[in-house]
Structure 1
Amino acid sequence: MPRSLLVLLLLVAAVAGSWLARSAMVRWRDLRAAQTYELAAEARPALVRAGAAALCLMCVSALGVAVLLGERGGVRQAVAAVEEGRSAGSADGAAASAPVSAAPVSASASASPSPSPVAFAAVGRAAGGELMQGAVPGPDGRARTVRVWLPAEYGRNATDRFPVIVLHSGTPGRTADADLPDVFDGVASAVQQGKARPFVVVAPEAPGGTGHPCDLVAAAPQAVADDAALRSAVGAAFRTLPAGPAGWSVLGVDGGAPCAAAAGLARPDLYGAAAAVSGRYDAKALTGAAAEAPGAVGARLLLAAAKRDTDGVASGRAVQAALRDAKSRAEVRTSEVVQDYTPERERLRLVRVAVQYLAEQLAK
């Protein structure tokens, strides 16, 4: 086999092995964090990546021996190729973890001086607005789906900037609107009734690797779905207010409610307010998340449930009492008066109440 081809194969194996090893370490840290808090987590992704990295290492060793059997000049060229592969692998890792990155991580992207922004394409219409979708790289380098709902008011003035609601999902690998397609109707109705200003709604795919993404957020607040890369991508593609508590909030409905509560309590530095609708909560875990929140500003959280949802009402009251007993800085309100003919109509009204609360709190 020509020596140049051996060097090329060696370079590819080194880069692939570096990326797989880094990805396996990330997955392993997530698994250890989940096990620490007795959360359900899958070890298979980490094991698969570790095995693939080991296979790449074997290939690098075999190819290295083949190249080293060549001439002395070939030896020096092989060493240079390996060092170049390591540099490319390190550049890929930096691109995946950079807080302002908005482009998918790849070997070609690491070579470009400035990554291109994420492209969002229209995938339909909902509640009078436009639904966009894009793919943003996650902490492990894997592209994740992000849906963005633009209200009808977005296209009426090309200079207006809009506050953001991050809509959390409680289903691994899915966006919240996939389980609750009518959630945008609740947001739009709050605006139509004059109870809130228009919001841009960002619905990121819930992280995988565990069957309980919301428990993971409570245990490790850095695991919020809208990390720095996602916020940068959204800010570059849409006319939103700058990321931060002055213009960004978080919402969760049903299965996503514990995610929103945990994110809001743990990260008041990211969200100006949080609202959780019809959820079931772990009061102890949420109290712990609130206690470790950065900064001196307390979180602002609304826990809303329909009047006939006795379990949801009791769960919300338990969280409120636990935070009060722990003397938490968090300001927690509950809403328990909504009732209507069907659960769907109650959910619509509860989302409307939640959006009104978020609008009021961001205006302060």
Structure 2
Amino acid sequence: MVRPLLVIPLLAAAVGGLWLARGALQRWRDLRAAETYELAGDRWPMLMRAGGAMVCGVCVTALTVLTALGAFGGLSRGGAGADRAGSAIDAAAAGAWPRSAPGSVPGAAVRQQAAPPDAVASAAPAASASATPGGTPAVTSRFDSVGHPGGGELLQSAVLGPDGKPRNVRVWLPPQYAKESNARFPVVVIHAATPRKTADAEVPDVFEGIGAALQTGRVRPFILVAPEAPSGTAHPCELVAAAPAAVADDATLRTTIAASFRTFPPGPASWGTLGVEGGAPCAAAAGLARPDLYGVAAAVSGRYDAAALTQTGAEAPAGSSAKLLLAAAKGDAAGLDAARKLQSALKAGPGPAAKADVRISDNVQDYSADRERLRLLRQAAQFLAEALAKAS
């Protein structure tokens, strides 16, 4: 009976040690990649996981030695007595069930649990029909749940676009939305680059990347809104610099989201924008064109028309300044070159363009493009959350 009694704690200690060691390695790698200006890394999570892994290692060693020496041999006799006692308790409990109320089911009270918060019901009332500045009323929409990626909840509805036509809009609620029923959340609009598609169709792991960043506990949770890219051109984000209002001044979207979910009021203190790969120029254009609407923008692995975006930044409302992160993997030479050219062009540009706070992340490196994209998304999420927290 020695080995059967010790195998469970031995396996638990071994599995726990491996999990903690893996977590410590992950945090160590994150620290190496957390040199992006304000994205300071926290060493305590890594040190705590490393210490926990060492403790588990000591436990595994001790349990292995005890098993080999048979130090708990006497437990076999006690175990038989315990088994008999357990059987007696089970028999007594079984004999007690017939005395329950008629029609009751044994154990029903134990198995009954409180129903989880209904995120859909609380988060999806009909949108307000108040008119936008252009006179177009917001669509009265019901957002329906379509999945639970990244630990949160994904909902979908149809909302009028800037052209007055309905388009699909997806909303990702962080796990904290259902848990904190009275809390309000910032909003980040994520842009797509393919007509009639949302960003998650182009970057399937976008919600996992944002969810992973929130799980660290260092990132303030926010709602992610993914509208369909407009049609009419094969590459909307290549033309958006010439007409940034097409993605920036989306009053109907802001009105509908604010009426349907527990968000902070639309404005630079609580709304930001994000773009990944082909959608990166859209995010950069929106952030540069309307810093009075979006307080922060993050563009990941993008290619940019520096001259057009500089002109866009120069025409921004007076008295406002954009805050922009341009992130690319360390091995993405073309992406980093495009980011540096845009940074230099804005710095030398006229008016509000020269006041833009443009930062570049160039330190993410991993063994695959997918892993690098996840790490870049985590950095972008941290940058957005920190900037919105400071603004509010």
CA offset digits 1:183-204 (Å, max 9, x no partner): 0111111111123111100000
Secondary structure in 2 aligned to 1:350? Answer: helix
Secondary structure in 2 aligned to 1:259? Answer: helix
Aligned partner (choices 337, 347, 355) of residue 363 of structure 2 = 337
Residues of 2 paired with 1:165 and 1:357: CA distance? 12
Residues of 2 paired with 1:221 and 1:254: CA distance? 18
Equivalent position amino acid for 2:382 in 1: Q
Residues of 2 paired with 1:177 and 1:302: CA distance? 20
Size of the aligned set, in residue pairs, is: 258
The residue that corresponds to 2:158 in the other structure is 135
How far apart are 1:329 and its partner, in Å? Answer: 1.1
Counterparts of 1:10-21 in structure 2, within 5 Å, are: none
1:102 aligns with 2:128: no
CA offset digits 1:274-307 (Å, max 9, x no partner): 0000001110011010000013121000000000
Which has the higher mean CA deviation after the structures are superposed, 219-228 or 330-339? 219-228
Which has the higher mean CA deviation after the structures are superposed, 121-130 or 187-196? 187-196
Residues of 1 paired with 2:280 and 2:373: CA distance? 12
The residue that corresponds to 2:256 in the other structure is 233
The residue that corresponds to 2:339 in the other structure is 316
The 8 Å contact of residues 99 and 228 in structure 1, kept in 2 or not, is answered as no
Q: Which has the larger radius of gyration?
A: 2
Equivalent position amino acid for 1:252 in 2: G
The residue that corresponds to 1:271 in the other structure is 294
Aligned partner (choices 157, 172, 190) of residue 180 of structure 2 = 157
Residues of 2 paired with 1:318 and 1:291: CA distance? 16
CA offset digits 1:307-364 (Å, max 9, x no partner): 0000001000000011112251111000000000110010000011011111121122
How far apart are 1:225 and its partner, in Å? Answer: 6.5
The 8 Å contact of residues 100 and 232 in structure 1, kept in 2 or not, is answered as no
How far apart are 1:98 and its partner, in Å? Answer: 4.3
Secondary structure in 2 aligned to 1:127? Answer: helix
How far apart are 1:220 and its partner, in Å? Answer: 1.2
1:258 aligns with 2:284: no
1:191 aligns with 2:214: yes
Unaligned runs of 5+ residues in structure 1 are: 1-93, 104-116
1:301 aligns with 2:337: no
Could you list the runs of 4 or more consecutive aligned residues of structure 1 that deviate by over 4 angstroms after TM superposition?
94-100
The 8 Å contact of residues 96 and 137 in structure 1, kept in 2 or not, is answered as no
The residue that corresponds to 1:7 in the other structure is none
CA offset digits 1:206-254 (Å, max 9, x no partner): 1111122113321112101771111111111111111110100000001
Residues of 2 paired with 1:329 and 1:136: CA distance? 34
The 8 Å contact of residues 325 and 358 in structure 2, kept in 1 or not, is answered as yes
TM-score (norm 2): 0.64
Q: 1:153 to 1:298 in 2, by over 3 A?
A: same
Q: 1:234 to 1:100 in 2, by over 3 A?
A: farther
TM-score (norm 1): 0.68
> What is the RMSD computed on CA atoms of the aligned residues?
1.7
Give the percent of matched residue pairs that are identical in Structure 1 and Structure 2: 60
Residues of 2 paired with 1:307 and 1:276: CA distance? 15
